[in-house]
């Protein structure tokens, strides 16, 4: 199998295959664009977005409702027509199915998968002789994907006839959902599930990956997954993506990877965080301030040009001060993120900037350079600093030299967010972070 000019598939010791770089890859290169075989919106997104292309209507634009079930919405006739080939097979039964206790007892993630399974089943059974070669190829690759670690699913949830033949195919498809079902997001906010067979077939996981995934929404067209390099990748090196958020606590990641994908991760981050003797208890509140100071100073000292080691392949943990791993305790990060989010919304900008800078240093320690979360957070921090400046100008309480420092901080984080998010590139809905960066650059005149 030769997927494209960037990637070749090679044997892997335990994971059947791995994707390897066929040529040297540059940071920011989009190395794969894979159209969705099928997607399903989260229940809360139904009626907000087009069920086919996921476009969010703007202004006076309205979505058209499917006249058969009144439960699917489209940008227009073109999107409806494209989905009708499969939707027509479940349209009449859809409302009875979603009202049934089988569907109602599922959580929203499982409900999304039930719709995903129903549409995928409708695509493959009976086989559609009119579908194009790309779709046939994607279906063939889908059935070649690995099954999950617990394939014994007897009654997968789906809308459609329950004859034994169909139930068996449904079970076969569902058994692959555990490790081949992507969470589709816009500006890093999840809103749908989707199956992208080629990407599934190619990429193994790492919590310290060299690539990340983004989704592009093109009105009237299907959703596509794009894989973007976040650092340069040498010829022959394995290409990896994260299957979950590397900032989750080690135990949570290990359990999820074992249960959903059937493997134990041996990436550099897991190896480092799993070191015997690493502090396991959360530091006392009285110790936190000093520890956060150490964290910020360590991250600042690691990079000569700015606070973050923006374009380095070096592990950030070499030489980490002994006391810092205590901050990897599962309770620490959510607490810090909550303080930043609450205080920046409440207008307590001094506290927000303080916690936000610590959070930025924490992300720089956990995520590889150019990881999109770093850029998103840097943008939030730049906006917070700018709001601080504006609020102080209005009340004119702080000396202007202090506000000069805050404005410099806004510029610094804006530059970081540009560096990361412009490399990540356009994705998701219109008017996202790239537009926010443009507006903030105008305000800050930089
Ligand atoms: C989406 S598939 C990836 C493609 C797979 N390597 C193949 O050849 O079909 C996910 C499966 O790959 C394997 N896998 C992915 N990342 C791995 C890793 N870091 N270590 C070991 N196995 C991994 C696991 O079996 C997992 O369930």
Which CATH number fits the domain that encloses residue 340?
1.25.40
φ/ψ (deg, to 5) at 73? -125, 145
Is residue 182 classed exposed, middle or buried when 0-12, 13-18 and 19+ CB atoms within 10 A define those classes? buried
**pLDDT of 39:** 97
436 and 301 in a single domain? The answer is yes
The ranges of the chain with pLDDT < 50 are 305-311
- Domain membership of residue 138 (yes or no) is yes
CA of 368 to the centre of ligand 1 (A): 21
Task: Calculate the CA 3 to chain-centre distance.
Answer: 23
What distance in Å separates the CA atoms of residue 117 and residue 98, rounded to the nearest whole number?
A: 13
> Measured from the CB, is residue 262 less than 6 Å from ligand 1?
yes
Domain identity same for 227 and 320: no
Query: DSSP H helical segments within 55-90, as ranges?
Result: 77-87
Contact 294, 324 (CB under 8 A): yes
Are 231 and 351 within one domain? no
Nearest-CA residue for atom 12 of ligand 1: 15
115 plus 199 within the same structural domain: yes
- Please give the distance, rounded to the nearest whole angstrom, from the Cα atom of residue 381 to the centre of ligand 1: 36
Q: Does the CB atom of residue 88 touch ligand 1 within 6 A?
A: no
- Is residue 17 in contact with ligand 1, taking CB distance under 6 Å? yes
Asked whether the beta carbons of 42 and 192 are under 8 A apart, the reply is yes
Residue 233 pairs in a beta bridge with 25
Q: What is the pLDDT of residue 125?
A: 84
Residue found under tokens 């789906």: 158
109 inside domain? yes
State the distance from the centre of ligand 1 to the C-alpha of 132, rounded, in angstroms: 28
Backbone dihedral angles phi then psi of residue 83, each to the nearest 5 degrees: -85, -15
Residues in the chain: 446
C-alpha of 304 from chain center: 30
With a 6 A CB cut-off, is 288 part of the ligand 1 pocket? no
Three-state DSSP class for 166?
helix
- On whether both 120 and 27 belong to a single domain, the answer is yes
To the nearest 10°, report the CA torsion of 389, 395, 397, 398: 10
Task: Identify the pLDDT of residue 309.
Answer: 45
Domain assignment present for residue 188? The answer is yes
Q: Are residues 195 and 329 in the same domain?
A: no
Same domain? 164 vs 309: no
Q: How far apart are CA 114 and CA 193, in angstroms?
A: 11
Q: Is residue 258 part of a domain?
A: no
Q: How far is CA 390 from the centre of its chain?
A: 33
Residues 381 and 292 in one domain: yes
SS3 (DSSP) at 250: helix
**How far apart are the C-alpha atoms of 107 and 169, rounded to whole Å?**
23
Q: Is residue 403 part of a domain?
A: yes
CA–CA dist 181, 414 (Å, integer) = 34
**Residue 266 forms part of a structural domain:** no
Do 325 and 418 have their domain in common?
yes
In a domain? residue 267: no
Same domain, 154 and 288: no
List 224's β-bridge partners, or say none: 35, 216
Atom of ligand 1 nearest to the CA of 260: 27
- In this prediction, residue 148 carries a pLDDT of 79
- Please tell me whether residues 396 and 294 are part of one structural domain: yes
Q: Residue 255 falls within a domain, yes or no?
A: no
Residue bearing the CA closest to ligand 1, atom 27: 261
Question: Are both 140 and 178 inside the same structural domain?
Answer: yes
Nearest protein Cα to ligand 1, atom 1: 200
Number of compact structural domains in the chain: 2
Range of the domain at 159: 7-250
Q: What is the pLDDT of residue 308?
A: 45
Residues 6+ apart with CB under 8 A from 170: 117, 121, 156, 158, 160
């Amino acid at each position: 199998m030769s997927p494209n000019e960037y990637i070749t598939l090679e044997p892997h010791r335990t994971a059947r295959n791995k994707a390897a770089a066929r040529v040297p890859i540059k940071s920011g290169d989009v190395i794969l664009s894979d159209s969705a075989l099928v997607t399903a919106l989260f229940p809360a997104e139904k009626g907000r977005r087009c069920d086919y292309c996921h476009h969010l209507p703007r202004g006076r634009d309205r979505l058209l409702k499917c006249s058969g079930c009144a439960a699917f919405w489209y940008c227009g006739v073109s999107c409806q027509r494209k989905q009708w080939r499969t939707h027509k097979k479940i349209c009449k039964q859809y409302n009875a199915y979603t009202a049934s206790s089988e569907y109602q007892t599922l959580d929203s993630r499982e409900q999304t998968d039930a719709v995903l399974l129903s549409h995928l089943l409708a695509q493959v059974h009976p086989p559609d002789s009119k579908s194009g070669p790309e779709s046939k190829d994607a279906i063939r690759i889908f059935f070649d994907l690995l099954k999950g670690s617990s394939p014994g699913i007897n009654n997968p949830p789906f809308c459609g006839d329950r004859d034994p033949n169909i139930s068996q195919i449904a079970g076969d498809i569902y058994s692959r959902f555990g490790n081949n079902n992507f969470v589709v997001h816009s500006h890093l906010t999840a809103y749908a599930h989707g199956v992208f067979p080629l990407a599934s077939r190619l990429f193994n996981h790492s919590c310290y990956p060299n690539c990340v995934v983004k989704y592009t929404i093109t009105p009237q067209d299907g959703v596509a997954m794009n894989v973007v390099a976040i650092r340069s990748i040498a010829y022959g090196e394995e290409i990896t993506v994260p299957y979950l958020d590397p900032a989750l606590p080690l135990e949570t990641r290990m359990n999820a990877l074992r249960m959903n994908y059937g493997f134990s991760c041996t990436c550099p981050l897991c190896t480092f965080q799993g070191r015997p003797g690493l502090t396991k208890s959360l530091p006392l509140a009285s110790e936190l301030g000093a520890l956060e100071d150490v964290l910020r100073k360590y991250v600042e000292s690691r990079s000569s040009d700015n606070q973050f080691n923006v374009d380095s392949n070096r592990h950030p943990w070499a030489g980490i001060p002994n006391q810092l791993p205590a901050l990897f305790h599962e309770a620490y990060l959510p607490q810090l993120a909550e303080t930043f989010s609450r205080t920046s919304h409440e207008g307590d900008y001094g506290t927000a900037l303080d916690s936000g800078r610590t959070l930025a240093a924490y992300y720089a320690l956990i995520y590889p350079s150019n990881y999109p979360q770093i850029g998103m957070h840097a943008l939030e921090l730049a906006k917070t600093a700018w709001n601080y400046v504006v609020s102080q100008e209005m009340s004119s309480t702080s000396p202007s030299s202090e506000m000069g420092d805050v404005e410099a901080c806004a510029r610094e984080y804006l530059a970081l967010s540009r560096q990361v998010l412009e490399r990540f590139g356009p994705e998701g809905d219109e008017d996202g972070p790239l537009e926010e960066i443009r507006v903030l650059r105008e305000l800050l005149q930089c």
